[in-house]
């Protein structure tokens, strides 16, 4: 694991349908308290499996953090249908043992960039009032917090898309594609895939 000033390289990429089993395993590893903080209740393994299935079949962009080649954090950006201006909801979970290492902030940044590039005008995040980590993370991104009973809602406005934000998202996806191609070349060298060395993933 590479560290820099107490943080690690989170190695974030977009999650696809092929990652569904990995996502289910990630959520099911969480204890009941962690599940309660993420979903508002200590949900069952069967619920988590159904949740991931629905997540991958909706208008949701999901990102995963793989700091050691294993999924340790997920950020979800779900577009709210039939709402104008365009609005999205964000949800985020980092495995407890991997918190306070910069993974949550990096995932939040990637989700906001995705919203920015899709012309999302408003992002909302709902969490339990006791979930101070999520509230602090939202405030670091200039979100406004509203409290109601046992819940807290964070609202923020993403910036307009820029050439840099579009490049950032495109480059991250292209890098993942090239990594898969390189892996294919290692497995089937006779196919003659010409892929340059990528070095370490610094996303």
> End-to-end alpha-carbon separation of the chain, Å?
14
Whether pLDDT at 80 is above 70? yes
pLDDT the model gives residue 61: 93
Instruction: Give the other-Cβ count within 10 Å of 86's Cβ.
Output: 13
**Average pLDDT, whole number, for the chain?**
81
pLDDT the model gives residue 162: 65
pLDDT the model gives residue 84: 77
pLDDT the model gives residue 131: 94
87: part of which helix (H) or strand (E)?
Answer: strand 87-94
User: Span 43-55, mean pLDDT?
Assistant: 95
pLDDT in tens, 109-138: 999 989 988 888 899 999 999 999 999 999
pLDDT the model gives residue 12: 93
Whether pLDDT at 6 is above 70? no
Question: Was domain 3-191 assigned CATH 2.40.170.20?
Answer: no
Domain ranges in the chain are 3-191
CA–CA distance from 121 to each of 24, 60, 109, 115, 155 (Å)? 30, 16, 16, 8, 11
Q: Is the peptide bond before 85 cis (omega within 30 degrees of 0)?
A: yes
Whether pLDDT at 69 is above 50? yes
Structure tokens, 196: 């340059």
Instruction: Give the other-Cβ count within 10 Å of 138's Cβ.
Output: 24
Whether pLDDT at 176 is above 70? no
pLDDT the model gives residue 161: 61
């Amino acid at each position: 694991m590479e560290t820099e000033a107490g943080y690690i390289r989170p190695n974030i990429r977009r999650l696809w349908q092929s990652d569904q089993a990995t996502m289910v395993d990630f959520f099911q590893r969480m204890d009941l308290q962690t599940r309660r903080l993420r979903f508002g209740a200590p949900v069952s393994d069967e619920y988590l499996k159904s949740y991931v299935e629905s997540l991958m079949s909706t208008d949701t962009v999901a990102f995963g953090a793989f700091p050691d080649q294993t999924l340790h954090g997920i950020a979800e950006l779900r577009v709210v249908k039939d709402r104008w201006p365009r609005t999205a909801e964000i949800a985020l979970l980092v495995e407890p043992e991997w918190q306070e290492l910069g993974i949550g902030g990096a995932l939040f940044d990637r989700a906001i960039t995705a919203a920015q590039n899709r012309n999302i005008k408003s992002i909302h995040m709902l969490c339990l009032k006791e979930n101070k980590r999520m509230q602090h993370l939202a405030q670091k991104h200039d979100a406004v917090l509203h409290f109601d009973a046992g819940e807290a809602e964070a609202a923020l406005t993403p910036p307009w898309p820029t050439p840099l934000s579009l490049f950032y998202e495109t480059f991250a996806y292209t890098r993942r594609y090239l990594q898969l191609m390189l892996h294919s070349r290692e497995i089937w060298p006779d196919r003659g895939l010409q892929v340059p060395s990528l070095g370490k993933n610094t996303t």
